[in-house]
């Protein structure tokens, strides 16, 4: 498939994990891709491996850094059609031990950072022929209680923001029905447990992954490519009449985690 031929996508947190898989998938489908990440070496290496790509340092906690990345996207490619907002920060700190600094360390990049990127990208997305598309990486944590209060609250905020933005920037509310462009679709994916370096960097994390696999009805944890496939769908014209939704990509975790356990009916 070449669903993104001639289009430009900006992916934040794109140097590794889910963001990397999204960038690779969009590039494989024809997009020019901007790899935006604070890990500049990894971003540059990924960009060099893709057909048409640009690596940009981008710290989503810094409005100026975000604005520079968006400006560089437009300078290089002349347009922005797809934004994948993918940065999120979590920790194992218990709520009672979460002081203001720790709360901000998780919530600022995860929620406010996503809004900074969307705000900076919005004017260009509104100019995209046929309408722009934003896909945010939320989490099952934003849908149900899986622990991590600060991170979960931030992801729930992302989910609700996508709903509100979908209404505010749909064509009906902007009076542009029938016109070419002038609106943006806003959707999110909610991954379950995904095999990324957060889990695979040590033996304890790998053991946790094995345990988590048993809790997912499909019998395995996710792969970054699983999430990228859903992101590509929501960003594409195949989802042209879909906006304001959050798609769980979780191997069934949110609909019945216990049913897969031994003794389940």
Task: Note the maximum CA span of the chain.
Answer: 59
What would the pLDDT profile of 167-220 be if each residue is shown by its tens digit?
Answer: 999 876 665 544 566 899 999 999 999 988 777 777 776 788 888 888 888 889
Sequence-separated (6 or more) residues with CB below 8 Å from residue 50:
23, 24, 27, 33, 35
What would the pLDDT profile of 235-255 be if each residue is shown by its tens digit?
Answer: 999 999 999 999 999 999 998
What would the pLDDT profile of 124-151 be if each residue is shown by its tens digit?
Answer: 999 999 899 999 999 999 999 999 999 9
Please pick, among 151, 169, 183, 199, the residue that the annotation labels catalytic. 151
Is 151 in the active site?
A: yes
CATH 3.50.50.60 fits domain 8-192+224-248: no
Helix (H) or strand (E) segment spanning residue 186? strand 184-191
Q: What is d(CA 90, CA 132) in angstroms, rounded to the nearest whole number?
A: 29
Where along the chain do its domains lie? Answer: 8-192+224-248
What would the pLDDT profile of 29-41 be if each residue is shown by its tens digit?
Answer: 999 999 999 999 9
Packing angle of the helix pair 17-28, 224-235 (nearest 10 deg): 50
Q: What angle do CA 113, 119, 123 make, to 5 degrees?
A: 150
**CA distances to 85, 86, 154, 213, 229 from 159, in Å:** 12, 13, 9, 25, 19
Is 155 in the active site?
A: yes
pTM, rounded to two decimals: 0.92
Please pick, among 155, 156, 184, 251, the residue that the annotation labels catalytic. 155
Alpha-helical regions (H) of the chain: 17-28, 40-49, 63-77, 100-107, 113-126, 149-168, 171-174, 197-200, 203-215, 224-235
């Amino acid at each position: 498939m070449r669903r993104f031929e001639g289009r430009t996508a900006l992916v934040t947190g794109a140097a590794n994990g889910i963001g990397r898989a999204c960038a690779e998938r969009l590039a494989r489908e024809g997009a020019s891709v901007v790899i935006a990440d604070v890990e500049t070496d990894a971003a540059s290496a990924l960009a060099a491996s893709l057909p048409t790509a640009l690596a940009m340092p981008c710290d989503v906690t810094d409005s100026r850094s975000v604005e520079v990345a968006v400006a560089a996207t437009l300078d290089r490619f002349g347009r922005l059609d797809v934004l994948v907002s993918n940065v999120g920060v979590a920790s194992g700190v218990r709520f009672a031990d979460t002081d203001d600094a720790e709360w901000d360390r998780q919530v600022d990049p995860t929620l406010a950072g996503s809004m900074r990127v969307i705000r900076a990208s919005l004017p260009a997305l509104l100019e995209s022929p046929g309408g722009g598309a934003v896909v945010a990486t939320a989490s099952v944590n934003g849908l149900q209680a899986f622990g991590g209060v600060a991170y979960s609250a931030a992801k729930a905020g992302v989910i609700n923001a996508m709903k509100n933005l979908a209404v505010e920037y749909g064509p009906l509310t902007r009076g542009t029905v029938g016109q070419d462009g002038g609106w943006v679709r806003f959707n999110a994916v909610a991954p379950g447990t995904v095999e990324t370096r957060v889990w695979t960097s040590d033996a304890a994390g790998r053991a946790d992954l094995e345990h988590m696999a048993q809790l997912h009805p499909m019998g395995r944890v996710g792969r970054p490519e699983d999430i990228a496939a859903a992101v590509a769908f929501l960003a594409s014209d195949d989802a042209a009449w879909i906006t304001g939704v959050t798609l769980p990509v979780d191997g069934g975790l949110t609909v019945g985690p216990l049913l897969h356990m031994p003794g389940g009916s």
